[in-house]
Amino acid sequence: MAQDHNEIRVRLVTPERTLFEHTAQSVELPSKAGYMEVLYGHAPLLAELGAGDVTLRGGPGGDERYNVNWGFVEVLPDRVTILASDALKPGEIDVPRAEKQLDHGLALWKQAGESEEAYDEALRIIAEAEAKIASASQP
């Protein structure tokens, strides 16, 4: 391919194993502050990921999407490495469980009172569950 050099190598690593390692045209990441898209030649960057979808565009097997919650990413001009504590394909998401998790999170949020820690924890659970449900409902 003519644009070979315009491709980035993307690695997705979870605590259990290296999920995949291949090239893609671009990759979209759910950084904590919002989604960002990384193309070839991006400036070196380190970022924490929130809950959301990692989307690979123009990979060998077409577009691919993974739902992650909490992660860490290193971007180098020609390489992106994503450390995710959990990565699921949209089809693998257990929607009833995510909904239960959402209810649980909302309940925690109501109980949190003045404790900042409990509040953050509840928000984290809610964000994770919402991202899962949104990811599963997308085509």
Partner 1 sequence: MANVLDLRRRIRSVKNTRQITKAMKMVSAAKLRRAQERAMAARPYARMIASVLVSLTRRIDLFDEETGNLRHPLFTTRPEKKILLIVVSGDKGFAGAFNSNILKTAFQFIQGNPDKEIDVEAVGRKGRDQMRRRYPAATYAEIADDQGNLRKVRDRKARVEVTGDHPGMLLKLETDRVFAMAQSIISRYRHEEIDAAYIIYNEFKSVIQQRLVVERLLPLIEIGSQQLAGAVEPTVEERERAAQAALTAGIELEPTDTTEADEEARKFGTAQVDYIYEQPSEELFAGLIPQYVSSMLYHAMTESVAAEHAARMTAMDSATNNASEMIDSLTLHMNRVRQAAITKEIIEIVSGAAAL
Sites of contact with partner 1 (CB under 8 A): 13-18, 31-33, 43-48, 70, 72, 74, 76, 81, 83, 85-86, 113, 117
The residues near 84 (Cβ < 8 Å, ≥ 6 apart) are 12, 13, 14, 49, 54, 66, 68, 69, 70, 71, 72
Residue number, 2 or 43, with CB nearest to partner 1 = 43
Report in angstroms how near the CB of residue 33 gets to partner 1 at its nearest: 7
Residue number, 39 or 58, with CB nearest to partner 1 = 39
Report in angstroms how near the CB of residue 56 gets to partner 1 at its nearest: 19
Residue number, 20 or 58, with CB nearest to partner 1 = 20
